[in-house]
């Protein structure tokens, strides 16, 4: 019998968003046991959780979510009553080169977790009481929006993704996430498994692997390496500080309606090239370089295949029903993020050695 009020598996807790979710839950709920299940792929890093690794309500288990026998055993060994599922292959560019890995982890891994939860919770024979399988998904499943008729609050177009927007994924990554969302809903509709899904926009903040736009470009600006802007830099993304996402996940896990979907976003759209110019300004200022010193690093390169033009999330359901609002202005979040990368050189050096160098060269050629 567990001494904890709840026993919650967080998958992918050693990754970027997962580590913020784990830290938030471990600090806030001392009566919950948080079991971080992570395979520690290139994107998983236990250094992300150094500050909480000794806490008595935190447990780490190195496991692949696709390994059904191990996952099934974890559910019974730890009397798991909740799952917050973040483990995934998450980078669009990698999915274009290696779609099989994305199908395996994102689709088969999700089914493995759903089935382990169903078997364990049904074996307890109490109609799934007080159980929840919460699946973390992305706005990319909705496809892409046009750039059109700007107005005040929506500078790049009037349309937004809502919870009712029809799925229309374009990349192997988003197709695999869409498929996993469908499986989660299928388990709810077929077996009555208590599930919730949230679909979030682009996250940024500390501990993000430097293959994604913001950490990659901060690192490159610092080192004077060119900044590969895909296409004309006109694509638009809706950015949210990662700790605001972690707080939204906590709120939805505790107060969301079972069987429902929630969109999470910052109402914070930026054209890539404008964001990149702002980032250059901030990093140069912090490094004591003259304004514009790193502008020459911008290098327009061949566009990403199937590059979605615009993402924009309508998160008013979450605001209206659960009173969630992002806490940080983007400029403040970006300052905080740049400060973190400048002050955590060891972390950057740790994750950019070894395999990263090979990835970088295959992806972008030389560092010039
Ligand atoms: P990430 O790539 O930083 O971390 C993924 C984590 O999953 C890593 O720790 C990795 O080791 C682990 N993992 C991968 N394969 C695994 C497997 N087979 N078994 C166990 N663990 C495995 O990803 P992230 O950016 O933190 O994203 C987390 C989740 O949030 C993903 O599901 C992603 O689709 C979703 N999401 C991300 C964003 C974003 O902007 N990053 C936005 C919306 C939704
Ligand atoms: O919208 C949510 C999604 O956001 C998450 O589901 C994904 O896991 C996450 O990776 C992110 O996907 P994006 O493809 O939007 O993020 P990325 O950081 O890869 O790219 C952001 C934008 O910047 C995109 O328009 C592509 C562009 N870009 C990216 C890189 C890495 C460049 O121009 N150059 C680059 O080198």
Q: What is the end-to-end Cα distance of the chain in Å, rounded?
A: 58
- pLDDT (tens digit, 9 = 90+) per residue, 192-232? 999 999 999 999 999 999 999 999 999 999 999 999 999 99
Mutate to test the pocket of ligand 1, among 20, 43, 359 (most ligand atoms within 8 A of CB): 43
Mean pLDDT, range 112-116, rounded to an integer:
98
167 touches 180 (CB < 8 A): no
Mutate to test the pocket of ligand 1, among 10, 13, 15 (most ligand atoms within 8 A of CB): 15
Annotated active-site positions, please?
Answer: 139-140, 173
Using the mean position of ligand 2's atoms as its centre, give its distance from the Cα of residue 255 in Å: 30
CATH of 6-205+240-268+306-329, one of 3.90.110.10, 3.40.50.9100, 3.30.470.10, 3.40.50.720: 3.40.50.720
246 touches 20 (CB < 8 A): yes
**Domain segments of the chain as ranges:** 6-205+240-268+306-329
Mean residue pLDDT across the chain: 96
- pLDDT (tens digit, 9 = 90+) per residue, 237-288? 999 999 999 999 999 999 999 999 999 998 999 999 999 999 999 999 999 9
Q: Does residue 148 have a pLDDT over 60?
A: yes
Q: Does residue 1 have a pLDDT over 60?
A: no
Mean pLDDT, range 181-199, rounded to an integer:
98
**pLDDT for the residue 70:** 98
| Ligand that lies nearest to the alpha carbon of residue 273, given by its number in the listed order | 2
**pLDDT for the residue 6:** 98
If residue 76 lies in a helix (H) or strand (E), which one and from where to where? helix 68-77
Q: For the chain, how many residues are written? A: 368
The CA distance from 73 to 134, in Å, is 19
Report whether residue 44 contacts ligand 1, using a CB cutoff of 6 Å: yes
The CA distance from 36 to 258, in Å, is 23
Q: What is the pTM of this model?
A: 0.98
Using the mean position of ligand 2's atoms as its centre, give its distance from the Cα of residue 92 in Å: 7
Mean pLDDT, range 348-360, rounded to an integer:
89
Question: CA 56 → CA 33, 53, 157, distances in Å?
Answer: 8, 9, 48
Phi, psi of 313 (to 5 degrees): -95, 135
* Ligand 2 nearest atom to the CA of residue 212, by list position: 18
**pLDDT for the residue 2:** 73
The CA distance from 226 to 242, in Å, is 26
Using the mean position of ligand 1's atoms as its centre, give its distance from the Cα of residue 359 in Å: 18
Q: Does residue 331 have a pLDDT over 80?
A: yes
199 touches 272 (CB < 8 A): no
- Assign 368 a pLDDT band (cuts: 50, 70, 90): low
**pLDDT for the residue 83:** 99
Question: 2 or 9: which carries more pLDDT confidence?
Answer: 9
DSSP secondary structure code for residue 296 in this structure: G
Using the mean position of ligand 1's atoms as its centre, give its distance from the Cα of residue 148 in Å: 32
Which residues, at least 6 apart from 324, have a Cβ–Cβ distance to it below 8 Å? 247, 248, 251, 264, 315, 318
Atom 14 of ligand 2: nearest residue by CA position: 92
Phi, psi of 102 (to 5 degrees): -70, -40
Q: Does residue 27 have a pLDDT over 80?
A: yes
């Amino acid at each position: 019998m567990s001494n904890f009020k709840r026993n919650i598996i967080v998958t992918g807790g050693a990754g970027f968003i997962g580590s913020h979710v784990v830290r938030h839950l471990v600090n806030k709920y001392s009566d919950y046991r948080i079991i971080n299940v992570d395979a520690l792929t290139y994107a998983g890093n236990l250094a992300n959780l150094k500050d909480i690794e000794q806490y008595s309500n935190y447990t780490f288990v190195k496991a692949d979510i696709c390994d059904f026998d191990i996952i099934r055993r974890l559910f019974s060994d730890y009397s798991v009553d909740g799952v917050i599922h973040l483990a995934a292959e998450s980078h669009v560019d990698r999915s274009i080169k290696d779609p099989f890995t994305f199908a395996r982890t994102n689709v088969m891994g999700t089914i493995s977790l759903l089935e382990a939860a169903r078997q364990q919770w049904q074996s307890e024979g109490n109609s799934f009481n007080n159980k929840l399988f919460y699946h973390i998904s992305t706005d990319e499943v909705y496809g892409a929006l046009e750039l059109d008729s700007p107005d005040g609050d929506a500078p790049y177009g009037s349309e937004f993704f809502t919870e009712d927007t029809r799925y229309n994924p374009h990349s192997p990554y988003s197709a695999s996430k869409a498929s996993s969302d469908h499986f989660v809903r299928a388990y709810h509709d077929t077996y009555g498994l208590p599930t919730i899904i949230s679909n979030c926009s682009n996250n940024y903040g500390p501990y993000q692997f430097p293959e994604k736009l913001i950490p990659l470009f901060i690192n490159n600006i610092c080192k004077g390496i060119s900044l590969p802007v895909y296409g004309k830099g006109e694509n638009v993304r809706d950015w949210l500080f990662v700790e605001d996402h972690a707080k939204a996940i906590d709120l939805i896990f505790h107060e969301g309606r079972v069987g429902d979907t929630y969109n999470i976003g910052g109402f914070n759209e930026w054209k890539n090239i404008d964001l990149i110019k702002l980032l250059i300004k901030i990093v140069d200022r912090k490094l004591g370089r003259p304004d514009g010193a790193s502008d020459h690093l911008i290098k327009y390169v061949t566009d990403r295949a199937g590059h979605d033009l615009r993402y924009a999330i309508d998160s008013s359901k979450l605001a209206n029903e659960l009173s969630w609002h992002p806490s940080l202005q983007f400029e403040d979040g970006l300052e905080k993020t740049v400060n973190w990368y400048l002050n955590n050189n060891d972390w950057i050096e740790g994750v950019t050695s070894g395999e990263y160098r090979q990835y970088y060269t295959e992806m972008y050629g030389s560092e010039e």
